[in-house]
Amino acid sequence: MSTATNTRYDKNARIGQWLQMLESPTLAVPVDLVTGFAPVAPVDLTARVRAFQAANGLVADGIFGRKTYGAMYALLRQKSIAALPLELQPKSGKKLVILNGDPYKDDNMNFPMRADVAFFLHQAMQEVRAAGGIIPSAGSLRALNAPLTAGRVARSWHYFAGAFDLHTYAGFQDPTKDPLVIVVDGDFHRVYVRCTQSRPDVVLPPEIELKNPCSQRDRTGAKAKPVRGHFLDLTAVFAKYGFARIPPHSGFRTNPRTNYMTAEWWHFQLEVWMMPEFSTFIEQLLLLYTEAQLRNTPPMRAGDAVFGVDFR
Ligand SMILES: [Zn+2]
């Protein structure tokens, strides 16, 4: 469909994105809404890095090295926590913020997010609710000693509360009724949320038709009838706030016996927080835990990895 450049692991595109976020009073994430990734780097990137360095007491050589990375990331994280509404500010000494998920069937789970991540999910949730959609949760933070399974890898972003899962049965069951409707989108899924006039102030998105909605019986939706309704493109909303999706595990579409828990359509992670070639898995864990807490846990045993290189 789209042939736009995939800038998922492009360091310069991300530096440009970070600089623009720092300049934005609302910490708005510049993003290519088609791909969901960073737009291409601005042409004057070196001059802008130099200006950032000069303003932050660093050697103004225009080279984005480890010190510049550290200073820029710390500032962004600090700003994102400050931007949280007062009632969501982390209590002193706490590193997690709990966002309320919407109840679905008998479940009512929350999203415990790292404080510096919560602002982005909070904004996305507000946008979805204003359009009459719901965000039911299957959790976000994974306990350090949780066992590894088919759908649970050692280098999961859930260990550092940088990822969340939508309710895994709120979609892919019955696309004519589910609150979430999923379609195949290249190697990925695209998730739509069904919107209803649940409150007088809801502003419904226009009615659209979704072709080939997926379900457990028809994993690619090839034989499915289209569904019509007021749908909001949830994948695009999350992308707008820095969250990226991940593809289903290989085999999920071709072999109907592959564990449903590897579909991953429900999973989103704050990739705008990751600088290709710089951000590492253990660095992310250390933003939430101490070294002593991490010792001998499954994510720590997996070893360190660098975003855009071997941590994806
Ligand atoms: Zn997940």
Give the model's confidence band at 259: pLDDT under 50 very low, under 70 low, under 90 confident, else very high.
very high
**Does position 4 have pLDDT exceeding 50, yes or no?**
no
User: pLDDT tier at 1 (50, 70, 90 boundaries)?
Assistant: very low
Residue 19 C-alpha to ligand 1 middle, in angstroms?
Answer: 28
Q: Are 181 and 194 in contact (CB under 8 A)?
A: yes
Helix 11-23, helix 66-82: angle, nearest 10: 40
Task: Collect all residues with Cβ–Cβ distance below 8 Å to 268 and sequence separation of at least 6.
Answer: 163, 164, 166, 238, 243, 244, 245
Instruction: Please give the mean pLDDT across all residues of the chain.
Output: 94
* 271 alpha carbon – ligand 1 mean position (Å): 13
This model's pTM is above 0.85 = yes
Q: How far is the CA of 299 from the centre of ligand 1 (A)?
A: 15
pLDDT digits (tens, 9 = 90+) for 77-95: 999 999 999 999 998 889 9
Q: Find the 267 Cα to ligand 1 centroid distance in Å.
A: 4
| Options 1.10.405, 3.40.50, 1.10.533, 3.30.1380; CATH of 92-275 | 3.30.1380
Coil/strand/helix, residue 111: strand
Q: Is it the case that residue 308 has pLDDT exceeding 80?
A: yes
CA of 153 to the centre of ligand 1 (A): 10
Would you give the DSSP letter of residue 58?
S
Q: Where, residue-wise, is CATH 3.30.1380 in the chain?
A: 92-275
pLDDT higher than threshold 50 for residue 3: no
Residue 216 has pLDDT above 90, yes or no: yes
Residue 5's pLDDT band, with cuts at 50, 70 and 90, is low
Q: What is the pLDDT of residue 20?
A: 95
For residues 130-159, average pLDDT: 90
What pLDDT was estimated at residue 146? 86
Taking the CA of residue 142 as centre, how many other CA atoms within 13 Å lie in the half-sphere pointing to its CB? 24
Q: In what order do the strands lie in the sheet with 267-270?
A: 163-165, 267-270, 243-245
Burial of 88 (0-12, 13-18, 19+ CB in 10 A): middle
Residue 65 CA to ligand 1 center (angstroms) comes to 31
User: How far apart are the CA of 121 and the centre of ligand 1, in A?
Assistant: 14
Indicate if the pLDDT at residue 151 is higher than 80. no
pLDDT band at 65 (very low <50, low <70, confident <90, very high): very high
The amino acid at 260: Y
Per-residue model confidence as pLDDT tens digits over 16-34: 999 999 999 999 999 987 7
168 Cα: distance to centroid of ligand 1 (angstroms): 10
CA of 142 to the centre of ligand 1 (A): 9
- 250: pLDDT strictly greater than 90: no
pLDDT digits (tens, 9 = 90+) for 271-293: 999 999 999 999 999 999 999 99
Whether 182 has a pLDDT exceeding 70, the answer reads yes
Ligand 1 midpoint to CA 75 (Å): 27
For residue 194, is pLDDT > 80? yes
Q: What is residue 131's predicted lDDT score, i.e. its pLDDT?
A: 98
- At 125 the pLDDT is 98
Q: What share of the chain in percent tops pLDDT 90?
A: 86
Q: How far is the CA of 241 from the centre of ligand 1 (A)?
A: 17
**Quick one: average pLDDT of 36-56?**
93
Give pLDDT, residue 32. 86
